[in-house]
Amino acid sequence: MMLDRRTLLAGAGSATTLAVMGRLVPAAHAARIQAVGIQLYTVRDIFQKDPAGTLEAIAKIGYREVEFGGGGYDSMDPAMLRRAMEKAGLRCPSLHIGYDALLGQFDKSVTMARTLGAQTVVLPYMTDQYRTEAGWSGAVPNFTKFATQLKQAGIGFAYHNHDFEFTTKPGGVSLYDRLLKETDPALVKVELDLYWAKRAGQDLAALIDRLNTRLYSYHVKDMRADGSMAAVGTGTIDFAALFKRRASAGVRHFYVENDQAPAPYLPDITTSFKTLQTLRF
């Protein structure tokens, strides 16, 4: 069996193991991302106009995984999208489904996820009405409800952050801390958006270590010195340093995302893909 750096880090249990890691795992065998993914919200404008053509273009760049979100995908025929994915050689490990849809159209959401081949449903965003003491207190139990029902359907559940979960602190405790404290880590996983966490002032390395086995996936987007979003590799975030942390060893998917990718979009996501494809950690 060939050991890579992430495998060794995940199993490292002693100072001796860590001390000899450099000899056991030379740079030539450093870990890399096996299948670079993309959150389709990044290309929502062109996807909405031509979903099949956009999926084909994404595959030609080299992406192998997609995460549905935005672009009106939830009003399209999921069987058509599945056929387009399979034709392009793509797979959909997870997808974004909104809180209201999970609350009011749960069965339809499960059917859509299954049709697209997704194994995890990610809750992507909570609107202003839930960012209060009362709003969050009412919503968090539903996260557990969603996760429990999805598990019964054979599907996982994860929560995707923005910045407000860290910066909004009713009663002095952040919404994110409450989410972690009040939900079962075995049921409610997290999709960590690295940009938004950093934008909220989080120490990314410390946050990753804290989340540990709760990490399901990363949203990989870069940050310029002025705080704006950028294609991966053109900003200031040291992704290799984050990905080689022991807690990152369990991350299953690395999705490129740029909420503000400039038209015509494909050059921007090509830059991000090439960066992650060649990244070694």
Q: Which long-range contacts (CB under 8 A, 24 or more apart) does 75-83 make?
A: 76/51, 78/111, 78/112, 78/115, 78/116, 79/115, 80/51, 80/52, 81/51, 81/55, 81/116, 82/115, 82/116, 82/117
pLDDT of residue 47: 98
- Taking only the tens place, the pLDDT of each residue in 56-67 is 999 999 999 999
High-pLDDT (> 70) share of the chain, %: 90
Q: How many C-beta neighbours within 10 Å does residue 50 have? A: 11
The structure's pTM equals 0.90
Residue 105 has pLDDT above 80, yes or no: yes
Phi, psi dihedrals of residue 114, rounded to the nearest 5° = -65, -40
Selected residue with higher pLDDT from 127 and 5: 127
Question: What's the confidence (pLDDT) of residue 172?
Answer: 97
pLDDT tens, residue by residue, 231-270: 999 999 999 999 999 999 999 999 999 999 999 999 999 9
Q: Residue range 7-28: average pLDDT?
A: 40
The arithmetic mean of pLDDT across residues 163-186, rounded, is 98
Residue with the bigger pLDDT between 4 and 28: it is: 28
* pLDDT computed for residue 82 by the predictor: 98
